[in-house]
Amino acid sequence: MFKHLNSRPLCKAKHKIEYMRKIVFFLITLISLQSSFAQNWKHNFQETLQTAQKENKYILVNFSGSDWCGPCIRLHKEVFTLPAFNEIASQRLVLLNADFPRYKKNQLPAAQQKINDDIAEKYNNKGLFPYTVLLNNKGDIIKSWEGFPPSVDLFIEDLQTAVQGK
């Protein structure tokens, strides 16, 4: 009887240690997944162009309305976080996000709004959202996609095919 009582605290401690190990493992996994999906979306076209030229990469420009455009939000969550997209992006792309939020609380600084307006005037003069444009490192349009892709797999495949030539 006493033997059973004495083993319980040891058993509880063992479970606590195992529980803590699981938490630590979960956190490490979460951090590693987050860093593998983390992308460095730039917001300045000239800096993006310089980086693309220096690294001999393509530029992927995404025009979005981050606080009002449902397909834009889905594109970022469901496509731009995929491992297949991130693999292409890390090897072949410099990412540029031209965001056009509508809500006052998300309003961009005037300088950033001017940069985005200039990019839109050159590459998205129809005002499409979401609109994704693939440019070479000179700023010439290679390919473009309107809206949320009907097939994410085909979009990734199409993007991969477009950047293979470099």
Which CATH number characterizes residue 130's domain? 3.40.30.10
Whether residue 82 is predicted with pLDDT greater than 60 in this model: the reply is yes
Nearest Cα to Cα of residue 138 among 117, 166, 160: 166
Which band of pLDDT confidence, cut at 50, 70 and 90, is reported for residue 87?
very high
Confidence of residue 159 (pLDDT cuts 50, 70, 90): very high
13 CB neighbour count, 10 Å cutoff: 10
Question: Percentage of residues in the chain with pLDDT exceeding 70?
Answer: 77
If asked whether residues 13 and 27 sit together in one domain, one would say yes
Where in the sequence is the domain holding 125, given as residue range(s)? Answer: 40-163
Let me know whether 116 and 142 are in one domain.
yes
Query: Which band of pLDDT confidence, cut at 50, 70 and 90, is reported for residue 95?
Result: very high
**Position 30 pLDDT exceeds 60:** no
| Count of the separate structural domains present in the chain | 2
Whether the pLDDT of residue 88 is over 70: the answer is yes
Q: What is the mean pLDDT of the segment spanning 38-66? A: 95
Same-domain status, 20 and 79: no
Residue 36 has pLDDT above 60, yes or no: no
Name 44's Cβ contacts closer than 8 Å, sequence gap at least 6. 115
Q: Same domain for 150 and 68?
A: yes
List the structure tokens of 126: 């129809």
pLDDT band at residue 18, thresholds of 50, 70 and 90?
confident
**Given the structure tokens 């530029």, which residue do they identify?**
59
Res 21 pLDDT > 90:
no
